[in-house]
Amino acid sequence: MQKENIVPESRDNAFRDLIIKTPGGRNIPTCMQCGICAGSCPVNHEMDYTPRELVRMIQLGLKKEVLSSNTIWICTTCFSCSVRCPRGIYPTELMETLKPIAMSEGIRNRNAKFDNVFADVIKKNGRASEFLLISKYSISEPGMIKQAPFGLALFSKGKLPLSIDKMEDVRELDAIFKLGEKSVDKEAKESTVAKESKETAPERSPKENEGQEAEK
Ligand code: SF4
Ligand code: SF4
């Protein structure tokens, strides 16, 4: 599929630096665009940007384009890209880093529905339940009706149990979720502050720069 060239509205180096500090992003500057990650990805045909393209976009600080991309939500966390990248970049972890940032920035993507339903089920019960997951997701995604025969076949073979396994004390899990949300908010704030301080820093004249060089 022929893709349109990206015409960036702006580049955000603070965003790039923030992502490079995360576990999945440490080696992003060394990406050589070999495409092994994209070639290994089983769902790249559904993504608007392949993992290779996403890594390049982060190098360029294309924050808005990266966070609005459906790639981060389409990823199935299969880890094929991460185990094969010759530069030790972990696109899988990268996707998980980018999701909460996109959410904290208020960027909505229709492909985030499944993640939201999954998180909701876990938050309420502390355990995954296939039945709850499929029924809740089907309500929010009308296209799922086509999967009804498959769901019934699973149910008839006992692969879709109606019983819901629940954690003893869900409050502990709630505290973990809150901690995670706090840390995401903190990272988003730091990114904004770093960006603003770069934008408002007065530009040094060539003479001032020469002076600083001489001092060194
Ligand atoms: S496999 Fe690694 S080095 Fe190659 S394009 Fe993907 S992220 Fe970059
Ligand atoms: S982890 Fe995600 S991005 Fe990487 S190969 Fe699997 S689906 Fe594709």
User: What is the distance in A from the centroid of ligand 2 to the CA of 75?
Assistant: 5
CA distance to 76, 95, 122, per residue, from 148 (Å): 22, 30, 23
Answer whether 83 contacts ligand 2 (Cβ < 6 A): no
Contacts of 42 (CB under 8 A, 6+ apart): 76, 78, 80
Least confident stretch, 10-24, 89-103, 143-157, 202-216: 202-216
Q: Is residue 107 scored above 50 in pLDDT?
A: yes
Q: Does residue 80 have a pLDDT over 90?
A: yes
Smallest CA separation from ligand 1 atom 2, residue:
85
Residue pair 64/82 in contact (Cβ under 8 Å)? The answer is no
68: alpha, beta or left? (left if phi > 0; alpha if psi -120 to 50): alpha
CA of 55 to the centre of ligand 1 (A): 8
Q: Is 129 in the pocket of ligand 2 (CB under 6 A)?
A: no
pLDDT number for residue 216: 45
Q: Domains of the chain, with CATH numbers?
A: 13-107 (1.10.1060.10), 111-170 (no CATH)
Q: Between 49 and 184, where is the model more confident?
A: 49
More confident residue, 30 or 2: 30
* Arithmetic mean of pLDDT over the chain: 84
**pLDDT tens string 170-185:** 888 888 888 877 776 6
